[in-house]
Structure 1
Amino acid sequence: MLNSFQLVIILLVISRIDNIKDAGNFVIAYAIANLLIMIGRYGVRQYQVSDINEQFIFREYLSSRIFTTILMMTVAIIYVGIHYYNGSYDSEKSIVILLVCGLKAVDAFEDVFHGLLQQHDHLEIAGKILTIRLFTYIIECMLIYYFIHDLIITIVICLLTTIALSIILNGSVIRTVSYKKGHFNFTHFKNLTVDCFPIFISTFLQIYMANAPKYSIDIVLTSKEQAEFNYIFMPVFVISLLSTFIYQPLVHKLAIIWNQKDLKKFWLLILRQTVIIAILTLLCMIMGYLLGIPVLSLLYSVDLSAYKSELVILLLGGGLMAAVNFFTMVITVTRYQKNLVWGYLLISLLFLLGGKKAAISYGIMGISSFYTLASACLTFVVIIYICIIVKLSKIKSS
């Protein structure tokens, strides 16, 4: 909950003090950082948790995470450097983006320790660590910005605190976990990198899709429109993040069921989670239609009454994207992830080519409708792929 709502809560303070520049910079920084964190995580968490036979030892997972986290920050520096050189970003916006990417790099690196805990049935310890660290960060960020009104100094202090807490909290528990040890094997490291590459590309494009409207608006519309869009997009973003915490505890259980070849139980678990996501999406759309705009306008001190239809359309798209998140996890468990990337590439290319045009031609309504349409197409592609996987599994087992 804290992870999902951190941006919402922090923006409550920022939007009241500087609801155009700082709010716009902070939101786009989070959008970019949430995309680049996929490089840091590299899709390894679900693979690690479902590695019930410990094909790879923790030292190899850790080495992989060190490499991908460094790669994440390198890409962030190159990305910001290009935009700064082209004049798209000023120095303040560039620094904010790099600092928020630093915060997410801590999340990415810490995730490998939490994967180890979950792999050995101690997910609750990871939850406690995240709760303490995120609660501290959110409160600290709001208080510092409220008193000094300087976004850069605020994030620098929060980053230092986050790093310190992550080291202390994770370091204190990892030593107590009993796991398979051994010497680092470069061949295993290479195999892990190759195996997880399709998952990385899929999750990267998935997050790109989830944030693509923000990137299109950042290019063609104003900072004011960027801020307003992100206020109505906030519930969608929250749905997407919350969905990961709904199904994350199921990864280990699904892996065991799949390895036992209990396809009936496997399908029932998938169906149950799909129904839960569908019900939550419908409830969110109803609440969004009835109360969404008045509540968001009150929270952010901005008149958003013109965006009621856009909010409902975006909430539908958010629910579809939450389903895609879940189905991607299912495919990872089956180890058939290699061909998944083509569906993501196709839909992402569609958004890359049409998203900017939709924003230019029809503004926020255009980009909202285009986002939901693309999410629906991606959901259809992933469901078809799961059906093919299960069919192939039946043929092989017979």
Structure 2
Amino acid sequence: MQKELSTGRNMLWNSAGSFIYLGCQWAITVLVVRLSDGYDGAGTLALAMAISNVFAPVAHFRVRPYQVSDIKHLIDDGEYVAFRLLSIALSVVLVFFYTVITCDSSSLMPVMLFFIFRALDLFFDVFHAIDQRNCRMDYCGKSSAVRGVLLLFSFSIVLYVSNNLNLSIASMTVVTLPMLLYDVPKARSFGAIRVHLSREHAVKLFRDCLPSVVGMVSCVAVVSIARQYLSFMEGDVALGIYASVCTPVVIVQAGANYIYAPLLVSFAKYYDEKKTSAFKSLLFKILVLTLVVSLLAAVAFLAFGDFLLGIAFGADIVQYSYLLYPAIVSAALTALIAFASDLLVVVRDPKGNLICNLLSFVACIPCTLLFVPLCGMNGASYAIAVSYAVGLVAMLVCLRKRLLGRVN
């Protein structure tokens, strides 16, 4: 009983800290509108975020679900840290060349600065995985809460004083970096972390996780393609409006993530112990809870959306509140496909992970070309939702096949 209460408190700490961090990140998308002239800054920041979302899976390399489900400790924690450093270095190079090739030269600096901040965030993640596997997600929550407050204050103060988006983004990295002095010792409390990487385990992690990485890059590219095509068709101002209005619905995606992420260890144990019924039951509960969170968000935005948007961005943006509702659907499906993708990592089905995510990517191209010209800014949400629905259905089929033959 005491252990269950302790686990519950730890998960509450993690959820609270994660929501604070998410709220602070959302707040900077509000402040960039409030403290800048027009929506150009918001559009640039949205572009930087979209590109970082495409390449963050390379930096992450889908190691978090693999690491927390490594319940037999087949790979040393120090090797996970070393592998994350290598994947981050690779992702930074890829972002640079992608931005040079596909974006205006003026976007290179903000995109790179934001991705460096995102890469640091993902470096913290490898230590949080150690905390999670040892059932101390309160450490993760406390770290996230403090880093969220720090990045919000630094971004807002620097932007207000300098009116320079690049300096504001860079300041977020500077102020959150010292939090490693908290996270690293906490992770080390569970055992020594000697940063090294054997060739055998490097090859194993690369081979086992690469299909999932390619799949997740393809999956995340769905959002980037839809947003970049919207920017191409209607300009940065339209993208800035769309991103500003739709950012609050990320709470749906985050809410679902905070429901399932702490339970990945449980899924791994159920699968390892061949408790198929328990695995399916937990899966069903999370699907239902995600639906409930989405419905509650829809009701809340219906009741208070105009009011909240007016406070956050000014009266001019209230006319675009109709963008919220398709965005809620797309956010819910984004959360569900991320959840299903993590489960495919847990059950070690990299091939299925890759194929299903590629299906979403392939579906995105005709959907984007169809919906954005036809429906304008809402078209981006429609394209994302339909594309992810295709991939999600395929993933559930793969999970069902993987569970067949497992005895309860």
TM-score by length of 1: 0.91
Report the alpha carbon displacement of residue 357 of structure 1 after superposing the two structures with TM: 4.3
The reply on whether 1:269 has 2:282 as its aligned counterpart is yes
Contact 2:255 2:293 in 1 (8 A): no
Show the counterpart of 1:89.
Answer: 104
The reply on whether 1:128 has 2:147 as its aligned counterpart is no
- 1:387 maps to a residue whose letter is R
The reply on whether 1:155 has 2:169 as its aligned counterpart is yes
* Alignment partners' CA distance in 1, 2:57 and 2:196: 27
Gaps of 5+ in 2: 1-18
* Alignment partners' CA distance in 1, 2:273 and 2:84: 30
Map of 1:1-398 to 2, 5 A cutoff? 1-18=19-36, 19-83=38-102, 88-91=103-106, 93-163=107-177, 165-178=178-191, 184-394=197-407
* Alignment partners' CA distance in 2, 1:21 and 1:294: 23
- 1:233 maps to a residue whose letter is C
Contact 2:40 2:236 in 1 (8 A): yes
Runs of 4+ in 1 over 3 A off after TM superposition: 179-184, 304-310
Contact 1:106 1:166 in 2 (8 A): no
The alpha-carbon distance between structure 1 residues 356 and 294, as it changes in their structure 2 partners (threshold 3 A), is farther
* Alignment partners' CA distance in 2, 1:277 and 1:192: 31
Report the alpha carbon displacement of residue 349 of structure 1 after superposing the two structures with TM: 1.5
Report the alpha carbon displacement of residue 342 of structure 1 after superposing the two structures with TM: 0.9
* Alignment partners' CA distance in 1, 2:303 and 2:187: 47
Contact 1:34 1:207 in 2 (8 A): yes
Q: Match of 1:121, SS? A: coil
* Alignment partners' CA distance in 1, 2:85 and 2:293: 36
The alpha-carbon distance between structure 1 residues 34 and 3, as it changes in their structure 2 partners (threshold 3 A), is farther
Contact 2:62 2:213 in 1 (8 A): yes
The alpha-carbon distance between structure 1 residues 217 and 162, as it changes in their structure 2 partners (threshold 3 A), is same
* Alignment partners' CA distance in 2, 1:208 and 1:166: 30
- 2:94 maps to a residue whose letter is V
* Alignment partners' CA distance in 2, 1:376 and 1:158: 35
* Alignment partners' CA distance in 1, 2:333 and 2:376: 22
The alpha-carbon distance between structure 1 residues 393 and 216, as it changes in their structure 2 partners (threshold 3 A), is farther
* Alignment partners' CA distance in 2, 1:302 and 1:67: 46
Contact 1:46 1:251 in 2 (8 A): yes
Report the alpha carbon displacement of residue 38 of structure 1 after superposing the two structures with TM: 1.1
- 1:129 maps to a residue whose letter is S
* Alignment partners' CA distance in 2, 1:332 and 1:293: 40
Name whichever of 349-358 and 47-56 sits farther off.
Answer: 349-358
Contact 1:10 1:142 in 2 (8 A): yes
The alpha-carbon distance between structure 1 residues 90 and 380, as it changes in their structure 2 partners (threshold 3 A), is same
Contact 2:306 2:321 in 1 (8 A): yes
Contact 2:113 2:169 in 1 (8 A): yes
Contact 1:210 1:321 in 2 (8 A): no
Q: Match of 1:373, SS? A: helix
Deviation readout 1:191-239 (Å, 9 max, x if unpaired): 1111011221232233223444322212222111111111222133332
Q: Match of 2:267, SS? A: helix
Report the alpha carbon displacement of residue 183 of structure 1 after superposing the two structures with TM: 7.0
* Alignment partners' CA distance in 2, 1:81 and 1:211: 16
Name whichever of 41-50 and 3-12 sits farther off.
Answer: 3-12
Report the alpha carbon displacement of residue 263 of structure 1 after superposing the two structures with TM: 1.2
Gaps of 5+ in 1: none
Q: Match of 2:404, SS? A: helix
* Alignment partners' CA distance in 2, 1:259 and 1:20: 50
Note the aligned Cα RMSD (angstroms).
2.2
Q: Match of 1:303, SS? A: helix
